[in-house]
Amino acid sequence: MNLKTKMYISMLSIFLVTLALLVGNAYLSTRSTFGHSAEEFQLAQSRELAAMVDEWSLSRKNGITIMAKELSANWDAYMADLAHHRSAGTMAAAEIIGDMGLTANVGGFDVVYFGAEADGGFYPSRHLDLPADFDPRVRPWYEQGKRSSGASQTLPYRTATRDAGLILSFMHPVTAHGQFRGVLSSNVWMDTIVQSVLSRTIGESGYFFLVHKDGTILAHHQGDLVLQKKLSDIDPSLSRTIADMQQASQGIASFRENGREKLLAYSALESMDWFVMVAIDRSEVYAPVISLLGSQITIAVMALIAGALIIVFLLRALLRPIDALIYRLRDIAEGDADLTQQLDESRRDELGTLAHLFNLFIQRIRRIMLDIDDLSHHVASSSSELSSTVSVISEGIDEQSAKTGELAAAIEQMNQTISQIAANATDTAERAQEMQRGAGESQQSVMATVENMLKIADGAKASMEVIQELGDSSLRIGEIVNVINDIADQTNLLALNAAIEAARAGDSGRGFAVVADEVRKLAERTQAATREISEMVSKFQAQSKDAVDKVAADVDRVEVGAQSADQAGESINQIMGNVTTTTDMITQIASAAEEQAATTNEIARNVERINAIADSSARELVEISNSSTQLSKVAEELRSTVMQFKLQETTIAQIAAATNSR
């Protein structure tokens, strides 16, 4: 898509969008204004009909109010006259009956009647077929009139006569002498007012109907809705309208009925809690707007066609210098590459500026081409010098690569030697560590031996002390045995003396002699036993002394052994210290060897990297040499390309030929 087409499309699109916005704005503005006017017209129609229904209602209320006030003012006279005619049997001629009949005729009531509070009497303006026990005081109209302070009315209701028409009752309380006397009420057929409402139309689809404040439909062209349905039964969205009717005396709403969108306007009656409503199809309301929109679209299409022709004509005139510019550029690109051509700069608009800038651009390109020709010549000569330099550098890199190879071999041999030293040092360090662990175990064994010897010495000392205590106890036992032996000797002497004295006594002392003999024998056995005990104690004392001597000798030997073991432990500690020092030194040697090996490895890797860099440099020098050769060829091709342009009256090719001939 060329620039002309884009400009045509852009201008036509802008023109089309502008027309669409204008038509759309006009349509929306017209629709809003017309819709507002239609709503105001609907409200005006509903207010007008509401005023008419108000007038009808107020005239009935005024009629019943006048009659109620007349009855209140002349209560006594009316009641006296009524009593007279009742007794005479001429009720139809009673004054109250006649006045109520006159009120019915003048006010357009079907019947006017009075219910008395005192006796429940019921007095209609004409004869009504009522049951004998009819009591007006319990009827809804009576109770409503009694509660009110002025004229009021009931909701419409149906009767079984006159094709089930609607009746509305107007009532007014009657008071006399400051007391409530009864209710004056009336019935009026709503046929006339309902027909007046339903007969009115607005447009082709608009109609009027009556609704109570609570939403109950009172009059509608669909008879089955009357007193049976509410607005919300037609469309649930009208529930909001019913809520608005409790606060506002008029308003606008919309709803759907039988699948058609309708506009609704309503106005309240001043005399009753009723609303006059008017509904009309939305499509009918906005039909003129749709027609107007069609006309506007037709005009817009005609304007679009005319504007398109004007835009095409203007753009062709404006783009003609651009066509000349395109011709010059095509001639440069596809012709003899003449950069000496110039465009006309005489115009004083943007196209003249464009031509001036194009001429400056061509002049700059011409200077650049001359500079490129000069630079390409210098590039060609410089590339030749670069090739020579690269050859010299390549030879130096080859020599460097050979030297680095020899250095790498020497470093590899040194690295192997250092690795062997590091391995031997590591092995020696491991053996020293094993020796250190063995010495540590020996040290622990010696320490355990010393500890056990000291425990044995302590046990032996305790045993020696126990044995000594046993020896001391045996000495005390010996002393006790000696005492017992002395007692036995004394007993034996006493027994001997007793026997002698018994013998002297003759027969009287024979029993005493026997006893003395037994005592002597007991003393002898005691002496024998004490001698055995004494011998045993002496033997035990000798053995105890021998045991104490042996235990003391063992304790001395254990203490000497413990001292020797302690000295051995100190020697092992010294060995441990020496082994630890040696192990640390060997470990340091191994670490140093490993670090030296790592360093030599790093040196080897660096040498390898140097060698790799040298190889890479050699390859890059080859590439540089090739690139230099290629650059020289490119420079020649660039000069050949530049020579194709006509930059001056004498072309570059002619200048180059002259230069080469010199």
Q: What is the CB-side half-sphere exposure of residue 433 using CA atoms within 13 A?
A: 9
Least Cα distance to 228 among 277, 158, 280, 161 occurs for 158
Could you give the 3-state DSSP secondary structure of residue 345? coil
Express each pLDDT in 112-142 by its tens digit.
999 999 999 999 999 888 888 899 999 999 9
φ/ψ (deg, to 5) at 347 = -70, 150
Do both 257 and 393 map to the same domain? no
Confidence of residue 489 (pLDDT cuts 50, 70, 90): confident
pLDDT at 355 over 90: no
pLDDT at 558 over 50: yes
Alpha carbons 78 and 75: distance in angstroms, whole number: 5
Residue 24 falls inside a structural domain: no
Question: Taking residues 88-92, what's their average pLDDT?
Answer: 88
Residue 460 falls inside a structural domain: yes
pLDDT at 649: 57
Residues, the chain: 662
Residue 258 falls inside a structural domain: yes
Between residues 471 and 500, the one the model is more confident about: 500
Question: Taking residues 202-216, what's their average pLDDT?
Answer: 90
Do both 267 and 390 map to the same domain? no
Do both 40 and 166 map to the same domain? yes
Residue 9 falls inside a structural domain: no
Do both 267 and 402 map to the same domain? no
Residue 76 falls inside a structural domain: yes
Last residue of a domain, one of 263, 288, 313: 288
Q: Which residues contact 107 (CB under 8 A, 6 or more apart)?
A: 59, 60, 63, 64, 186, 188
Highest mean pLDDT among 229-233, 403-407, 418-422: 229-233
Using a 10 angstrom Cβ sphere, with 0-12 exposed, 13-18 middle and 19 or more buried, the burial of residue 304 is: middle
Please report, for the domain that includes residue 245, its CATH number: 3.30.450.20
Q: Give the chain's mean pLDDT.
A: 78
Residue 261 falls inside a structural domain: yes
CA distances from 488 to 68, 190, 502, 513, 523 (A): 164, 164, 20, 18, 5
Q: To the nearest 10°, report the CA torsion of 636, 640, 642, 648.
A: 120
Residue 117 falls inside a structural domain: yes
Confidence of residue 81 (pLDDT cuts 50, 70, 90): very high
**Domain housing 129:** 36-288
The DSSP line for 114-177 is EEETTT--EEESS-----TT--GGGSHHHHHHHH-SS-EEPPPEE-SSGGG-EEEEEEEEEEET
Highest mean pLDDT among 5-19, 134-148, 158-172, 524-538: 134-148
Sole residue written with tokens 């916005």: 21
Between residues 23 and 163, the one the model is more confident about: 23
Confidence of residue 52 (pLDDT cuts 50, 70, 90): very high
φ/ψ (deg, to 5) at 434 = -65, -40
pLDDT at 449 over 70: no
φ/ψ (deg, to 5) at 124 = -90, 160
Between residues 545 and 551, the one the model is more confident about: 545
Are 197 and 278 within 8 A, CB to CB? no
pLDDT at 135: 94
DSSP state of 216: B
Between residues 291 and 117, the one the model is more confident about: 117
Confidence of residue 75 (pLDDT cuts 50, 70, 90): very high
pLDDT at 662: 46
Do both 275 and 408 map to the same domain? no
pLDDT at 525: 77
Share in percent of the chain as helix, strand, coil (round to 5): 75, 10, 15
Do both 269 and 391 map to the same domain? no
DSSP state of 248: -
pLDDT at 35: 65
Express each pLDDT in 313-328 by its tens digit.
777 777 777 777 777 7
Least Cα distance to 167 among 156, 155, 154 occurs for 156
Q: 3-state SS of 370-409?
A: HHHHHHHHHHHHHHHHHHHHHHHHHHHHHHHHHHHHHHHH
Last residue of a domain, one of 264, 288, 312: 288
Per the structure, the count of domains in the chain is 2
Q: To the nearest 10°, report the CA torsion of 575, 576, 578, 584.
A: 160
Do both 391 and 533 map to the same domain? yes
Last residue of a domain, one of 288, 321, 343: 288
Are 208 and 148 within 8 A, CB to CB? no
Residue 30 falls inside a structural domain: no
Please report, for the domain that includes residue 446, its CATH number: 1.10.287.950
Q: What percent of the chain has a predicted confidence (pLDDT) above 90?
A: 24
Confidence of residue 530 (pLDDT cuts 50, 70, 90): confident
User: What are the b/e assignments for 184-223, b being 16+ CB within 10 Å?
Assistant: bbbbbbbeebbebbbebebeeebbbbbbbeebbbbbbeee
Query: Which residues are registered as beta bridge partners of 183?
Result: 115, 173
DSSP state of 113: E
φ/ψ (deg, to 5) at 340 = -100, -5
Express each pLDDT in 260-270 by its tens digit.
899 999 999 99
pLDDT at 627 over 80: no
Are 202 and 281 within 8 A, CB to CB? no
Question: Taking residues 169-185, what's their average pLDDT?
Answer: 95
Q: What percent of the chain has a predicted confidence (pLDDT) above 70?
A: 73
Between residues 407 and 363, the one the model is more confident about: 363
pLDDT at 164: 57
